[in-house]
Structure 1
């Protein structure tokens, strides 16, 4: 369960899809909303396409 304070800070609501990333070496995890990850991926792809058009 994600603590209430964290859910409030990061606006995590019931039904939100989350992505959990883990790093065994550092013994840490990161949690983010999947829509945030999808937007990040789109931004990267758009930036790459923009760079290719400039070449």
Structure 2
């Protein structure tokens, strides 16, 4: 598997990634949970339903 690597100085903003993830999760009827604390990185939890 390969990943797209944008040219140096052309990285998307983190909020852009969050918006993309949120859209994909919503399309699958899931949800995204975020836990943050001052001066600490955020923890994202993605919850997707199981299909029968």
- Could you say whether these structures have the same fold, taking a TM-score greater than 0.5 normalized by the shorter chain as the test? no
Greater RCO (CA < 8 Å, at least 6 residues apart)? 2
Higher strand share: 2
- Give the TM-score category using the shorter length: 0.3 to 0.5
Higher helix share: 1
